[in-house]
Structure 1
Amino acid sequence: MLPDGYSDVPAGKLAAVVTCLEMSAPAERHVEIDQPGVALSPVEKADPAWYRDLYRRIGAQWLWTSRLAMADAELAAILHHADVDVFAVMRDGRAEGLLELDFREEGSCELAFFGLTEAIIGKGAGRWLMNHAIARAWSRPQSPIRRFWLHTCTLDSPQALGFYIRSGFTPVRRQVEVFDDPRLTGALPMNTAPHIPIL
Structure 2
Amino acid sequence: MGLIPVPPGHVAAVVTTLEMHERPRARPMPPSPLRLVRWPAPDPAKYRALFERVGGPWLWYSRLVMDDARLIAATHRAETQLHVVEDRQGLEVGMLELTHPEPDWCSIDYFGLVPALTGAGHGRWLMAMAMALAWKPETRLVRVNTCSLDHPRALGFYRAQGFEAVSRSVETFPDPRLIGVLPADAAPHVPLVSAR
TM range (shorter): over 0.9
- Establish whether residue 87 from structure 1 lines up as the match of residue 92 from structure 2: no
- Consecutive unaligned residues of structure 2, counting only runs of 5 or more, are none
Classify the secondary structure of the residue corresponding to 1:55: helix
Which of residues 179, 185, 190 is equivalent to 1:191? 185
What aligned pairs does 1:36-185 form with structure 2 within 5 A after superposition?
A: 36=33, 38-91=34-87, 92-139=89-136, 144-185=138-179
- Structure 1 residue 106: deviation in Å? 4.2
- Structure 1 residue 185: deviation in Å? 1.4
Query: What is the TM-score normalised by the length of structure 1?
Result: 0.91
- Consecutive unaligned residues of structure 1, counting only runs of 5 or more, are none
Classify the secondary structure of the residue corresponding to 1:22: strand
Classify the secondary structure of the residue corresponding to 1:196: coil
Percent identity of the aligned residues?
46
Classify the secondary structure of the residue corresponding to 1:17: strand
Could you tell which deviates more after superposition, 16-25 or 99-108? 99-108
Query: What is the TM-score normalised by the length of structure 2?
Result: 0.93
- Structure 1 residue 195: deviation in Å? 2.1
Question: Residues 160-191 of structure 1, C-alpha deviation per residue, up to 9 Å, x if partnerless?
Answer: 00000000111000111111111111111122
Question: Residues 86-141 of structure 1, C-alpha deviation per residue, up to 9 Å, x if partnerless?
Answer: 111111111101010011234221100000012322221100010110111012x6
Q: Distance in 2 between matches of 1:127 and 1:65?
A: 24
Q: Distance in 2 between matches of 1:78 and 1:106?
A: 18
> 1:124 corresponds to which letter in structure 2?
G
> 2:160 corresponds to which letter in structure 1?
R
